């Protein structure tokens, strides 16, 4: 091999090795949960809650709630909520973690800053906070529960598909996508909805106790009057006592700093952003995942569709 060719091979090899090392280090930093902050001293942690609240989001948000709650440098935690809500249980997971921090001796101030939407489960998780901010045009409220699923009975009838079911009890296949609900099943489901609704009302009542404007205190009766599923603007929510102050992210951050005695521009800590783009690691390891993507892994029939009943604190 000529020297010039050998040199090019060595150069290209060195470049590829360098890219691999850089990508590997970036991946390790990402997986370690690194954080972005400016300066030292007392800090405010800002956790984004964006999109539909599901199990994965609840796990991620609670991870950082716990991390920042245990950090003595963090004097306050602010959640920037831009969400229509989501699953009942995931919303309650975040709510309980916020409440746990509030009830502990960690002395962390927790503030909610609402973006475009903080409805249903997005409002539910805000209830235990020390202060709730919203823009005048924020869409919030939607205090209520919804259950939904896909029913393809008519399609199955058209295709002459007849389901066969053996069950141990009357309600074992309640919500089956292949038949209509019975009257007793409707009563059964409505009772579950009412119970989950009561949990939502209780969360709002306890979280907002004594927080409404004079003459509009939020007792259980008043909360139920507001909790018919409708959404409110931030301005209306302020008038009804569902939030504390009108203001944007900057206003909320400044007020949070004032609440914990931080003077001047506060140092902000945020969770690392999810990795985006393409790296050499994707090239090396991503191909393996493609082998699992086969026609057999795709839904082959109606029975493969997700038709499970889902109970949600979500604005639709």
For residue 46, count CB atoms less than 10 angstroms from its CB and return exposed for 0-12, middle for 13-18, buried for 19 or more: buried
Sheet architecture: strand order including 85-87: 85-87, 310-314, 146-148
**How far is CA 28 from its chain centroid?**
25
Task: Report the DSSP pairing between strands 131-134 and 245-246.
Answer: parallel
- Count of all residues that appear for the chain in the document: 316
**Residue in 120, 142, 176, 312 annotated catalytic:** 120
Tokens 């919203």 locate to: 134
Is 120 noted as a catalytic residue in this protein? yes
H or E, element range at 81: strand 74-83
For residue 60, count CB atoms less than 10 angstroms from its CB and return exposed for 0-12, middle for 13-18, buried for 19 or more: middle
**Residue in 59, 167, 172, 186 annotated catalytic:** 172
Instruction: Let me know: does 77 contact 64? Beta carbons within 8 Å.
Output: no
Q: Which sequence positions are flagged as catalytic?
A: 120, 172
């Amino acid at each position: 091999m000529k020297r010039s060719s050998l040199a090019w091979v060595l150069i290209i090899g060195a470049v590829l090795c360098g890219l691999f090392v850089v990508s590997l280090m970036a991946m390790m930093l990402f997986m370690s949960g690194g954080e972005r902050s400016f300066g030292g001293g007392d800090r405010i942690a800002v956790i984004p809650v964006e999109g539909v609240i599901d199990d994965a989001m609840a796990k991620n948000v609670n991870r950082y709630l716990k991390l920042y709650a245990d950090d003595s440098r963090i004097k306050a935690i602010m959640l920037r909520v831009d969400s229509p809500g989501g699953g009942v249980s995931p919303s309650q997971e975040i709510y309980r973690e916020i409440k746990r921090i509030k009830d502990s001796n960690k002395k962390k101030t927790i503030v909610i800053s609402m973006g475009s939407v903080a409805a249903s489960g997005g409002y539910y998780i805000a209830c235990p906070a020390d202060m709730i901010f919203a823009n005048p045009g924020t869409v919030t409220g939607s205090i209520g529960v919804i259950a939904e699923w896909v029913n393809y009975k008519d399609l199955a009838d058209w295709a002459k598909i007849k389901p066969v079911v053996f069950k141990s009890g009357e309600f074992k296949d309640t919500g089956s996508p292949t038949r209509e609900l019975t009257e007793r099943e409707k009563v059964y489901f409505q009772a579950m909805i009412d119970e989950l609704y009561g949990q939502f009302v209780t969360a709002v009542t306890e979280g907002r106790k004594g927080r409404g404007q004079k003459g509009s205190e939020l007792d259980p009766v008043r909360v139920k009057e507001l909790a018919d599923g409708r959404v409110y603007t931030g301005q209306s929510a302020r008038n009804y006592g569902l939030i504390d102050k009108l203001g944007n992210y900057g206003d909320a951050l400044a007020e949070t700093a004032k609440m914990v005695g931080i003077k001047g521009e506060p140092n902000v800590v945020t969770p690392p952003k999810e990795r985006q783009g393409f790296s050499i690691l994707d090239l090396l390891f991503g191909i393996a995942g493609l082998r699992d993507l086969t026609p057999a892994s795709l839904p082959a029939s109606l029975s493969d569709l997700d038709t499970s009943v889902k109970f949600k604190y979500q604005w639709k």
